[in-house]
Amino acid sequence: MPTPVALTIAGSDSSGGAGIQADLKTFAALGVYGASAISALTSQNTHGVTGIHQVPAAFVSDQIDAVFVDLAVGAVKIGMVAQRDVIEAIAASLAKWKPKHVVLDPVMVATSGDRLLVPDAIDALRKVLIPCADIITPNLPEAAALLDEPMAKGEAEIEEQGKRLLGLGCKAVVIKGGHGDGPESTDYFVTKKGAVALPASRLVTKNTHGTGCTLSSAIAAGLAKGEDMDAAVRSAKAYVTAAIAAADKFTVGYGHGPVHHFHTFY
């Protein structure tokens, strides 16, 4: 059987908890070979982001070409893409190589609260990249920002925002509920068939760095292994929940530490 391969196109996190580092750890933990195309370099740690160095759009394209010309990519995960020209270059590469599955995590703000996406790029994200995606995975603030609306409160509003996000051209949406309130952290999986709530107990820990990156890359891993969208989303939710539950086994940094990607191994 061929080795399942997934490509992450995202920013690098120097502290290793989010971005391509989290994506590659997730791929490895779930039995998928990971390749990467770096869209930006960040200097950051568990306290926050202190600098961002953008990778030229042409070189992002070069990295993607180098992967696709040689590796049988089963799914692509897209994370931090902070500049319009990079977004347009990625969209052109997707049109060129036509990957079977594309998962887009519209990263705008880091767990620490640092803004990662310049305002000029938000319109390009909406109009250029989201229509290329099979599924997008915004959290509640990101869903609101993409729609230029207040953050949804309550299940009905979240489902309505999910339906409007489908109108931007993607096939499915997972709105992550980590920013909500209450004893459960409920994600909402929205397709043209309707919305499905995916609840999990809300875990009390400050070690949540990279949760969004991890969920989207876990979905991509499932798709690369041949799972259908529903199964990939559900297995990704279970994996991330377990990774958060095990996060306090780590003592990494003094701020928002990472989740435990390899919780099933050690």
Residue reference for tokens 């377990």: 242
Question: Which tokens hold the place of 131?
Answer: 């229509």
Strand order in the sheet with 135-136: 48-54, 33-45, 5-13, 75-78, 102-104, 135-136, 172-175, 187-191, 194-198
Return the structure tokens found at 56. Answer: 């030229």
Catalytic residue among 176, 186, 191, 214: 176
The answer to whether residue 212 is catalytic is: yes
CB 20 within 8 A of CB 12: yes
- Is 79 known to be catalytic? no
9, 24 in Cβ contact below 8 A? no
Q: Which of 26, 211, 214, 241 is catalytic?
A: 211
Residue 176 among the catalytic residues: yes
Whether 208 sits among the annotated catalytic residues: the reply is yes
**From the candidates 8, 111, 186, 208, which is the catalytic residue?**
208
Rounded (10°) CA dihedral 159, 160, 162, 166: 140
Contacts 24+ apart (CB under 8 A), 50-53: 52/11, 52/82, 52/116
Annotated catalytic residue: which of 74, 210, 222, 257?
Answer: 210
- Among the listed residues 8, 42, 162, 213, the single catalytic one is 213
Given the residues 178, 212, 222, 257, select the one marked as catalytic: 212
Residues annotated as part of the active site: 176, 208, 210-213
